Amino acid sequence: MAQAKVTARTLALALGAILASGIPDAAAGKRANTLEVAFQRETDFVDRIHTDSRESAILSSAIYDTLLYQDPATGQVTGLLAKSWTWVDERTIDLDLREGVKFHNGDAFDADDVVYTVSFVIDPENKLRQQESSFLFVKAVEKRGPYKVRLTLARPEPVAEFLLAARFLVWPGKYTQAQGHMVHATKPVGTGPYRARDVSPGKGVSLSAFEGYFAGPKPKAKIGQVNIRILPDLQTQVAELMAGRLDFAQDMPPDQAENLRLNPALKVVYGDTIRITFLSLDASGRAGESPLKDERVRRAIAHAIDRDAIAGRLVGGGSKALAAQCHPAMNHCAQDLPRTPYDPAAARQLLAAAGQAGGVSVTLAASVDLKTVAEAIQGYLTAVGIRARIETAPLPTWRRNFLAGQSQMSVLGWGGGGIYDASAALPVFFDLGNADYARDEEVADWVKQGASTMDQARRAQVYRQALARIAEKTYTVPLYTNTVNYVMSAEVDYAPTRVDVPVLSQIGWK
Amino acid sequence: MLRVVMSRLIVAVLVAVTVAVVGFSLLRLSGDLAAELAGEGATPAEIESARVKHGLDRPLPVQFARWSIDLASGDLGRSLFSGEPVADMIRTRLPVTLKLAVYALLVSIGLGIPLGMIAAMHPRSWIDRLSLVTAVLGQAVPSFWLALVLIVVFGVMLRWTPISGSDTAAHFILPTVTLAASSLPGLMRLTRSGMLDALATDYVRTARAKGLAERTLVAVHALPNALLPVLALAAVQLGTLLGGSVIVESVFALDGIGLLAYRSILRGDFPVVQSLLIFVALAYTALTLLADIANAIIDPRIRLG
């Protein structure tokens, strides 16, 4: 009996020790100056040179700096590692680099680092992801002084400044050359406001504020430590938030976010993003014979859908119905074009005029995450006599089918790389390529001109023409602007920006 | 014995080949890997470029043959996304999964065998019925649901345990309970039926008639015989636990091979998925073989082959 008591006591002590060892202090956040952040997905690389994902965008902007800086709130481009720049001609940009900048390992930043990094990203042999659209507009880089660099472009690129602010971050040349570029997957070194303390694949990333960060347009780190944990299951994130062991999570399903809003220890904030969602219609009959080749049927679809209701009630968080096939904050995204209002009666009349008064059957495809939007559209279409059969699939499968020309009608979202210009929204879907279901050669020509001329007046004119034709022919039905939500501890201070990812260096404590 | 071992090894190779072919086919039919590799904002041209870069434009049999040749030479390949060697990815994550599987098996054995014994010693009593209900519930309740209930009760409401991660032993408490809940019932029911059979044998009846204490009777005469099939099942359960922790690791964010498999399947990272499938299949086959050999050694009545 005595032995049994000793065993029980030993077990109890052991269990107590195990429990005590593992439970984090629930109030650790502000008191310990440590922000606990959840990511749903792991990123393969923390730098946006090797990859381009939401997660790498968050980490990259914390650890590294780019040549130019796009203000996440206004979208305006200013200097960052290059304090200023000059267009010598349509294909030449001179950069004046910032002096006195240090990398996290103590190396001094200069033109050699820029030349090393730019040479790497523009070398097609390195086969980087999305290299063509992100990097290859630059043809050559030349050092013209310790803090002066010249970029020669492969073509006139009207959004070059946005692109230099996106993925043109700078690695320390000597460190990267000595360790190999893959070192940035595990031991990243940049000049950014946070330095990477630990990168554990599958687990997360720990960051510390970089005390030596220079005073520039990007804010200094406001929090001492940031621990990013990979929590694939959203329910686990919710539990961690409710237990006070997580300070910051993003992109919760709207119903979950609203439930969490009821918790006084948490708050939910929404932000508008540059991302849009629209309905693609197979006007050219790529997916086979279909009633959508008839312009009247397409216009009937546009009349049938109450986009304001979808934006306001289904998406929420400040989402707005789109007036054109681009985000209103984008340059050259005309907002004064004639709109197709919600008018079910007009939709029925158009269907009757098209000889489809008995009803039309169509297939509506969507990736799984847009299923609720597809269902809402299905409801509106049913009300005017259009039977839409929904086909949902995981994003890669949906995308394969879409690019293979198999989509009669699809709901899709498009971010355009966060570039505030109509050229980020239009070319992919109107270039006569795999994603173009309009196949309108004139639109393709206007869009091509807009992406290749530096004359802003001409660009405004051709994009306006393209957008007007897209609306007139109802090649697409622009739906709404996307929003993002952040669930955070009430102690956290963060105002969302237009970028659909959080900017870590702008997060602070109340 | 040697013949049996050889035949099992051949079976293991056949299982590995079947798993590899089926896994490869399912994975490649489920989506466009090139689109995933190129990234979300990739243009169609960039997706085609990714397809060529990774050899995905070649016929599927050629891709499979190439991967198989590399595997035969001991090269598991590299992740298509991170470029990390697959062998390293598995090696760094395996300890977490092994730890979880062993903990879950120990809990299953530690509770399943005593509960099975008690149920057998009191057949049709409330204890027996309670054990039956527990067994049915344990096998019927989905692990993701049980995991969430445990998280809400012990992680959120009581705040006794951590919710996610694998940093300390305490992080393994809830995942272990969740995983053990599915393996415990089988061990408990098998112990019970084995014990009932053993307690009804002539030699136990004789021992009881000779006045042997009930505790000695159970511990020395009945239990060793009842545990033979339990031992075999426990070995098989370990294999199941190794492969069955995908959901549990995902919910509790344990960075083991289950979570790696979950993530790799979602992205279609086929070198990683293929290697994991083969690893788990071979582990399962090897453990089954070990259980057979152990049974043959312990029980002279069993003659393999």
Write the secondary structure of chain B as one string of H (helix), E (strand) and C (coil).
Answer: CHHHHHHHHHHHHHHHHHHHHHHHHHHHHCCCHHHHHHCCCCCHHHHHHHHHHCCCCCCHHHHHHHHHHHHHCCCCCECCCCCCEHHHHHHHHHHHHHHHHHHHHHHHHHHHHHHHHHHHHCCCCHHHHHHHHHHHHHHHCCHHHHHHHHHHHHHHHCCCCCCCCCCCHHHHHHHHHHHHHHHHHHHHHHHHHHHHHHHCCHHHHHHHHCCCCHHHHHHHHHHHHHHHHHHHHHHHHHHHHHHCCHHHHHHCCCCCHHHHHHHHHHHCCHHHHHHHHHHHHHHHHHHHHHHHHHHHHHCCCCCCC
Q: Which two tokens stand for residue A52?
A: 């381009």
CA of A446 to nearest chain B CA: how many angstroms apart? 19
The verdict on A239 touching B (C-beta cutoff 8 Å) is yes
d(CA A63, CA A49): 13
Contact B31 A18 (CB under 8 A): no
Q: Is A255 left (phi over 0), alpha (psi -120 to 50) or beta?
A: alpha
State whether the Cα torsion B262-B264-B268-B274 is positive or negative: negative
Catalogue the E-assigned strands of A302-449. Answer: 360-367, 386-393, 409-414
The verdict on B252 touching A (C-beta cutoff 8 Å) is yes
Token pair 């008018």 is found at A343
How far are the Cα atoms of B82, B91, B177, B238 from residue B278, in angstroms, in the given order?
21, 14, 27, 16
Nearest to A267 by CA among A509, A484, A483, A487: A487
Among candidates A132, A240, A397 on the partner chain, residue whose Cβ is nearest the Cβ of B49? A132
Between residues 52 and 71 of chain A, which touch chain B (CB distance below 8 Å)?
Answer: 52-53
Whether the CB-CB separation of A114 and A176 falls below 8 Å is answered with no
Q: Which residues contact A335 (CB under 8 A, 6 or more apart)?
A: A323, A324, A328
d(CA A55, CA A204): 11
ipTM: 0.82
Alpha helices in A243-370 (DSSP H): 254-261, 295-304, 307-309, 344-353
In tens, the pLDDT along A262-278 reads: 999 999 999 888 899 99
Q: How many CB atoms lie within 10 A of CB B29?
A: 9
Q: Which two tokens stand for residue A264?
A: 């006084």
Contact B170 A26 (CB under 8 A): no
Contact B82 A45 (CB under 8 A): yes
Element (H, E) at A123: none
The verdict on A390 touching B (C-beta cutoff 8 Å) is no
CA atoms within 13 A on the CB side of A361: 1
Whether the CB-CB separation of A129 and A115 falls below 8 Å is answered with no
Of the ranges A415-429, A461-475, B174-188, B264-278, the best mean pLDDT one: A461-475
**A-chain residues within 8 Å CB-CB of B49?**
127, 131-132
pLDDT tens per residue, chain B (305 residues)?
A: 677 777 777 877 788 788 878 877 877 776 677 877 877 667 777 788 888 888 888 888 888 888 888 888 888 888 888 888 999 999 999 999 999 999 999 999 999 999 999 898 888 889 889 888 888 888 889 999 999 999 999 999 999 999 999 989 999 999 999 999 988 998 999 999 999 998 888 888 888 888 888 888 888 888 888 887 888 888 888 888 887 688 899 999 999 999 998 888 877 788 898 889 888 888 888 888 787 777 777 776 665 44
In tens, the pLDDT along A180-197 reads: 999 998 899 999 999 999
- Chain A residue closest to B160 (CA)? A19
Total residue length of chain A: 510
pLDDT (0 to 100) of residue B265: 83
Among candidates A23, A396, A416 on the partner chain, residue whose Cβ is nearest the Cβ of B36? A396
In tens, the pLDDT along A353-392 reads: 999 988 899 999 999 989 999 999 999 999 999 999 999 9
Q: Is A24 left (phi over 0), alpha (psi -120 to 50) or beta?
A: beta
Q: Which residues contact B144 (CB under 8 A, 6 or more apart)?
A: B247, B251
pLDDT (0 to 100) of residue A2: 47
Bridge-based pairing state of the strands A360-367 and A409-414: parallel
Whether the CB-CB separation of A247 and A29 falls below 8 Å is answered with yes
d(CA A217, CA A80): 7
| Beta bridge partners of residue A489, listed in sequence order | A266
| Beta bridge partners of residue A141, listed in sequence order | A151
**B-chain residues within 8 Å CB-CB of A245?**
162-163
**B-chain residues within 8 Å CB-CB of A203?**
165-166, 255
DSSP string of A24-38? --TTHHHHTTEEEEE
| Beta bridge partners of residue A235, listed in sequence order | none
Among candidates B45, B47, B152 on the partner chain, residue whose Cβ is nearest the Cβ of A239? B152
Among candidates B39, B152, B170 on the partner chain, residue whose Cβ is nearest the Cβ of A18? B170
**A-chain residues within 8 Å CB-CB of B255?**
200-203, 230
d(CA B31, CA A448): 31
Give the 3-state secondary structure of residue A199: strand
**A-chain residues within 8 Å CB-CB of B30?**
394, 396-397
Q: Which two tokens stand for residue B173?
A: 């408490």
Among candidates B49, B164, B250 on the partner chain, residue whose Cβ is nearest the Cβ of A240? B164
The verdict on B54 touching A (C-beta cutoff 8 Å) is no
Split at pLDDT 50, 70, 90, the class of A202 is confident
In tens, the pLDDT along B54-73 reads: 888 888 888 888 888 888 88
Q: Which two tokens stand for residue A369?
A: 């995450």
In tens, the pLDDT along A63-113 reads: 999 999 999 888 889 999 999 999 999 999 999 999 999 999 999 999 999
**Burial profile A306-327: b = 16 or more Cβ within 10 angstroms, e = fewer:** bbeebbbeebebebbbbbbbbb
Give the 3-state secondary structure of residue A191: coil
CA distance from start to end of chain B: 7
Q: Which two tokens stand for residue A172?
A: 């320390």
d(CA A139, CA A154): 5
DSSP string of A86-119? EEEETTEEEEEEPSS-B-TTSPBP-HHHHHHHHH
Split at pLDDT 50, 70, 90, the class of A18 is low
d(CA B221, CA B215): 10
d(CA B192, CA B187): 9
Q: Which two tokens stand for residue A263?
A: 């918790």
Q: Which two tokens stand for residue A507?
A: 């997060």
Mean pLDDT, chain A, integer: 91
Element (H, E) at A480: strand A476-489
**B-chain residues within 8 Å CB-CB of A201?**
82, 84, 89, 92, 255
Q: Biggest alpha carbon distance in chain A?
A: 93
The verdict on A23 touching B (C-beta cutoff 8 Å) is yes
CA atoms within 13 A on the CB side of B4: 12
| Beta bridge partners of residue A230, listed in sequence order | A39
Contact B163 A245 (CB under 8 A): yes
The verdict on B202 touching A (C-beta cutoff 8 Å) is no
Contact B162 A26 (CB under 8 A): no
pLDDT (0 to 100) of residue A47: 93
Q: Which two tokens stand for residue A203?
A: 């687990």
| Beta bridge partners of residue A272, listed in sequence order | A483
Q: What's this model's pTM, rounded to 2 decimal places?
A: 0.84
pLDDT (0 to 100) of residue A9: 56
